[in-house]
Amino acid sequence: MPITLRTDTLADGRELLYFDDADTTLGPERGIDARVLDPRPATASMRQDVLTGDWVSIASNRQNRVFLPPADQDPLAPQTAANPSEIPSRYDVAVFENRSPSFGPALEHENAPADLADLAAIGLERTRTSVGRCEVVCFSPEHEGSFGSQTVSRARTVIEAWSQRTAALSAMPGIQQVFVFENRGQEIGVTLGHPHGQIYAYPFITPRTSALLRSVAAVGDDLFAQILASEQQSERVLIRGEHFTAFVPFAARWPLEIHLLPHRHVPDLAGLTDEEKDELAPLYRRLLRGLDALYDTPTPYIAAWHQAPVHEGRDAVRLMLQVTSPRRAADKLKYLAGSEAAMGAFIGDVAPETQAAFIRSGIEKADMTEKADQQ
């Protein structure tokens, strides 16, 4: 049975989508969201930093979002009489519009960016409306966990949801880039322990991707092919599959940093084939479980899916996963202080080759643990 998509609407009009596992035990019925909710907040405004040209969204409504609630008040768990959460029914994977978005809910507005040229102009006190879309992706109805704690079947469902939402959001008016990510751990700033990620659909091309486009212009449209070929010959490779290679990058910034590239050029998650998604689910899961096996407690991380902009660089910018963690020892974190935070100049404490060997040991340990659990 294939992964099934079911669509619904929350009480305040936000879109809700259910993705049922290929081996789901759920029926097709879904409950109705009978809550009485306040109107959605007004779309935020973004301001340009004239020193850099970057755009900063000022989303004051996010000050009121839920912070580390008890399990019986988890806003991402299925609704009960005592917990009027965001999702009316039991689910496998659920996606819905964020109640406190940094971008949106409006997709069009009289002060929305006109185009990329409008955004690139630099001047004092320039503002635009923060049009776009922010979505929450719930990996499981369970209160605790992460992507790595899901079954392979569930991981595959999440990847299908990411792919479908990337395509849908990219087709919306005013969207310039779609960013899929998972924040894991209070050390990263996570406010909900529930296993989930987010998707931002930006009305601009992000600063990190703008810098990448400059590198592509300098090196050539085959930049990612060159990176992949170089890394595959290095001692920094962690896992090499038929369709993907995971490695610690040559110039890693963070104590724990993993990059993953597809072997062929594909601009975003929506462009992956079923065969590639089928390999990615267990491979990506192994990487995250390997990070968790490095120490006695779960490893905090940001898992960021860097995708090509919607309209720029599609033939040159390749889909890339970047997983970064500030954890530099069992009880120590790397804090971004003077050089990193103020100047953006990172200083690494350990050679990437040493960290690659360390991460491989975690992957091997996690593999052995899972094999023993299955016996």
Whose CA is closest to 255, among 334, 185, 314, 318? 334
Sign of the CA dihedral running 225, 307, 120, 59: negative
Please report how the helices 274-292 and 152-170 are oriented relative to each other, as an axis angle in degrees rounded to 10. 120
The H-assigned helical ranges of 199-332 are 207-219, 223-232, 274-292
For residues 158 and 138, give the distance between their C-alpha atoms in angstroms, rounded to a whole number: 8
What SS3 state is found at 97?
Answer: strand
Give the H or E element holding residue 118: helix 116-120
Q: Which of 109, 143, 194, 196 is catalytic?
A: 196
Long-range contacts of 158-162 (CB under 8 A, 24+ apart): 158/19, 158/93, 158/197, 159/269, 159/272, 159/277, 159/280, 159/281, 159/284, 160/3, 160/19, 160/277, 161/17, 161/19, 161/93, 161/95, 161/137, 162/137, 162/199, 162/269, 162/305
Active site annotation includes 194: no
Which amino acid is located at 116 in the chain? L
Find all residues with CB under 8 Å of 282, minimum gap 6, and list them.
152, 155
Residues 258 and 325 sit within 8 Å (Cβ to Cβ): no
Catalytic residue numbers, as ranges: 196
